[in-house]
């Protein structure tokens, strides 16, 4: 049998080692027993699709069952993961078969109106209906070249600044403090995924293969009189030259419940003794830090793609999220892979409640499902996508209102590990 005809099968727990080894080969990673063990705790072989050749897994696409914050709510979202095809079998259509099957499976199960993923490369997923729903900034800060500015106008009542203290420790040991904080912040941040107990273990473990230097990964927690209000996960690496210390700090995650905690965390991270630079690869496109420093250019920001979204059940997805304003608009949507989504849909948001139904009414906006997905979390506006030629305004004048309704008060963002 040709490999292109080999059946797609559901994986079993016995396939986990094979899948682990395939992904390690594809991502050029070293073996890491700790990572493999912790990863097995979050793997869902029952939702993994594999193609075998000679009894070995040569193609894989997995799914995690998780919730994702979308504007106004948390939505069940199939988190697509560990997609890969062996170098011996690439470019024969195996990925395309897996993606089509996965979308059909998610659609048939009827629980998750969207799928999401982090893409290793931008060109892979648009052909399967994925839109780039979040962008993020990679920061490379020269800490000597900028200063934090006083951010808040003095309190007119003359009240005291809130007392913020720091606590540093082992992230796994402080999990019971970190997790509730994350959950409080997550519900208001489109693009963030929920984290169960095994996920916390996955996120907080300091894997040998991911170390940045000999120093342990740490968490710093900010505490106010009202309790813990923010945390940051970070690592550091020593470096010295003829001028003295030039240590580096690598930040993985900054989560803060209020502005004082956010400012305190960055004050801490930017002033760790014997360090001169800070990197943070998962800053939001609207990261507030940009407005806290006197020279934002010295943040050294580079643009990166973040979360990709695929709308699997269009009326369910559009009705589930909240909108920034009421709107009544008819979309004409193309979706070659899931024709159930194609055609004309009326989205009505009245008094904050959204409804999306099939309609024969004339189209007002036309786009592909991937462009609707790009706008779904409130990231790129329909207006921006229209300027790029990706959304077409069929009825003149409808775009500004629809574009405003799809927006949100904070840009969506994503954290590296979902």
Residue from 125, 130, 376, 406 carrying the catalytic annotation: 125
Burial of 141 from C-beta contacts in 10 A (0-12 / 13-18 / 19+): buried
Among 300, 307, 228, 309, CA closest to 270? 300
List Cα–Cα distances, 411 to 56, 192, 257, 294, 378, in angstroms. Answer: 43, 12, 17, 22, 7
- The rounded Cα 117 to chain-centroid distance in angstroms is 8
Q: How far is the CB of 58 from ligand ACO (least distance, A)?
A: 9
Decide whether 121 or 163 has the Cβ nearer to ligand ACO. Answer: 121
Q: For residues 333 and 5, give the distance between their C-alpha atoms in angstroms, rounded to a whole number.
A: 32
Which one among 67, 71, 84, 126 touches ligand ACO, defined by CB under 6 A? 84
Scanning 3-11, 88-96, 231-239, 327-335 for contacts with ligand ACO by CB under 6 A, the matching segment is 88-96
User: Is 327 marked as a binding-site residue?
Assistant: no
User: Is 85 marked as a binding-site residue?
Assistant: yes
User: Is 120 marked as a binding-site residue?
Assistant: yes
Query: What kind and span of H or E run contains 331?
Result: strand 327-334
Does residue number 81 form part of the binding site for ligand ACO (CB under 6 A)?
A: yes
Q: For residues 271 and 288, give the distance between their C-alpha atoms in angstroms, rounded to a whole number.
A: 18
**What mask of x and - would describe binding to ligand ACO in positions 21 to 50, judged by CB under 6 A?**
-----x------------------------
Q: Which two tokens stand for residue 9?
A: 């099968």
Q: How far is the CB of 338 from ligand ACO (least distance, A)?
A: 17
Q: For residues 284 and 408, give the distance between their C-alpha atoms in angstroms, rounded to a whole number.
A: 14
**What mask of x and - would describe binding to ligand ACO in positions 121 to 160, judged by CB under 6 A?**
x-xx--x---------------------------------
User: Is 95 marked as a binding-site residue?
Assistant: yes
How many residues touch ligand ACO under the rule CB under 6 A: the total is 22
Does residue number 94 form part of the binding site for ligand ACO (CB under 6 A)?
A: yes
Decide whether 99 or 220 has the Cβ nearer to ligand ACO. Answer: 99
Does residue number 241 form part of the binding site for ligand ACO (CB under 6 A)?
A: no
Q: How far is the CB of 127 from ligand ACO (least distance, A)?
A: 6
Q: For residues 371 and 309, give the distance between their C-alpha atoms in angstroms, rounded to a whole number.
A: 10
Q: Which two tokens stand for residue 363?
A: 């189209």
- Answer for the pair 18, 40: CB distance below 8 angstroms, yes or no: no
Sign, Cα dihedral of 309, 314, 315, 316: negative
Which one among 38, 50, 83, 385 touches ligand ACO, defined by CB under 6 A? 83
Residue from 128, 376, 406, 418 carrying the catalytic annotation: 418
Active-site residue list: 125, 418
Contact positions vs ligand ACO (CB under 6 A): 26, 80-85, 90-96, 117-121, 123-124, 127
């Amino acid at each position: 049998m040709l490999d292109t005809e080999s059946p797609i099968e559901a994986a079993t727990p016995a396939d986990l080692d094979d899948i682990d080894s395939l992904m390690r080969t594809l991502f050029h990673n070293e073996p890491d027993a700790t990572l493999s063990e912790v990863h097995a705790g979050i793997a869902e072989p029952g939702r993994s699709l594999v193609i075998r050749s000679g009894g070995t897994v040569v193609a894989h696409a997995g799914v995690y069952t998780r919730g994702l914050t979308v504007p106004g709510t948390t939505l069940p979202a199939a988190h697509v993961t560990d997609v890969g095809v062996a170098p011996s079998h690439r470019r024969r259509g195996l990925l395309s078969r897996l993606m089509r099957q996965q979308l059909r499976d998610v659609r048939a199960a009827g629980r998750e109106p969207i799928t999401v993923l982090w893409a290793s490369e931008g060109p892979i997923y648009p052909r399967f209906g994925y839109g780039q729903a979040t962008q993020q900034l990679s920061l490379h800060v020269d800490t000597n070249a900028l200063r934090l500015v006083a951010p808040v106008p003095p309190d007119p009542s003359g009240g005291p600044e809130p007392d913020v203290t720091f606590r540093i420790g082992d992230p796994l040991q402080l999990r019971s403090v970190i997790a509730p904080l994350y959950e409080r912040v997550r519900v208001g941040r489109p693009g963030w995924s929920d984290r169960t107990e095994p996920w916390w273990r996955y996120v907080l473990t300091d894997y040998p293969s991911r170390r940045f230097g000999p120093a342990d990964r740490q968490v710093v927690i900010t505490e106010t009189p009202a309790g813990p209000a923010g945390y940051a996960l970070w690592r550091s690496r020593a470096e010295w030259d003829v001028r003295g210390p030039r240590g580096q700090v690598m930040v993985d995650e900054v989560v803060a419940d209020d502005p004082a905690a956010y400012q305190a965390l960055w004050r801490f991270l930017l002033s760790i003794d014997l360090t001169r630079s800070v990197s943070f690869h998962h800053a939001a496109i609207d990261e507030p830090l940009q407005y806290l420093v006197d020279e934002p250019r010295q943040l050294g920001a580079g643009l990166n793609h973040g979360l990709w979204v695929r709308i699997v059940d269009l009326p369910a997805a559009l009705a589930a999220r909240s909108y920034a304003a009421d709107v009544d608009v008819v979309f004409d949507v193309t979706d070659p892979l899931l024709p159930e989504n194609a055609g004309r849909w009326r989205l009505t948001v009245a008094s904050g409640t959204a409804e999306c139904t099939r309609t024969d009414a004339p189209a007002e906006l036309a786009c592909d499902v991937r462009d609707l997905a790009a706008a779904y979390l409130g990231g790129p506006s329909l207006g921006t996508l229209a300027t790029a030629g990706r959304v077409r305004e069929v009825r003149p004048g409808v775009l500004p209102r629809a574009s405003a309704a799809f927006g949100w008060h904070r840009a969506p963002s994503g954290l590296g590990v979902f």
